[in-house]
Structure 1
């Protein structure tokens, strides 16, 4: 399949595919005689793996390690578990920050009486550092 087909199938931008090739998380594809890239189902599966990992918030160095682990089916999954645990902890931290942000915004909006800007609780709260 060509890059446009791969892009549509995986739901990934063409430039993202080229970027992944440049940084080595996707192998350089075979080329046709006219220079066009040609991808296999293995490439599509690998790109799907990368996309899913990125959707879950894994950074590219972690994705690189997970891809390497995927190629060693008999190896221990301890490293994969450790990476996933680290990502879970980061997600928990982000959720806590977002909940705190939500509470502060709700408080600001709740205290705003929609009067004059000189009395606006939203503007006042944002002005405090």
Structure 2
């Protein structure tokens, strides 16, 4: 099937050479063989691994989590419960982030409602709210109801 030099691998995978070197340092792709000329050459199977990494990344998995999934993939005899558990953990993290973003969105809408956008910034209720001296806790992010 042949091999690919790092530039060819980058072009076929859509990743940069720097990213490929980083993935190699992190253990996500195996170290390449070297030709007598010093060129790095990767087996074509590395493209499949890079596609796996890209899919994991697109689903929000960290590189460490991706490495864990790849390790699980290397043991096809094991139960798939560990894989499902990783996905379920990702779902829970995403749901938490969505909740946090919705809370922030609600707070920003409340802030926006405080100001009609007219007048000097010295009188801006948004800026007045933001400079209040209160503990930086998430409950303080919700502005008071507009008058």
- 1:48 match: 51
Cα deviation for residue 85 of structure 1 reads 0.8
- Structure 1: segments with no counterpart, 5+ residues: none
Normalised TM-score (structure 2): 0.79
Normalised TM-score (structure 1): 0.88
Query: Can you list the C-alpha shifts for 1:62-92, whole angstroms capped at 9, x where unaligned?
Result: 2112101112223211111111111111111
Cα deviation for residue 28 of structure 1 reads 0.2
Q: Secondary structure at the match of 1:118?
A: helix
CA distance in 1, matches of 2:61, 2:88: 11
Partners of 1:12 and 1:51 within 8 A in 2: no
- Structure 2: segments with no counterpart, 5+ residues: 135-147
- 1:121 match: 125
Query: Can you list the C-alpha shifts for 1:8-54, whole angstroms capped at 9, x where unaligned?
Result: 33232221211111121210012222212112221011111112112
Cα deviation for residue 96 of structure 1 reads 0.8
Number of residue pairs matched? 129
Cα deviation for residue 4 of structure 1 reads 2.2
Q: Secondary structure at the match of 1:12?
A: coil
Cα root mean square deviation, aligned: 1.6
- 1:75 match: 78
Structure with larger Rg: 2
Partners of 1:30 and 1:38 within 8 A in 2: yes
CA distance in 1, matches of 2:96, 2:11: 33
Structure 1 stretches of 4+ with a deviation exceeding 6 A read none
Show the 5 A alignment for 1:1-129: 1-114=4-117, 115-128=119-132, 129=134
CA distance in 1, matches of 2:35, 2:113: 62
Q: Secondary structure at the match of 2:61?
A: coil
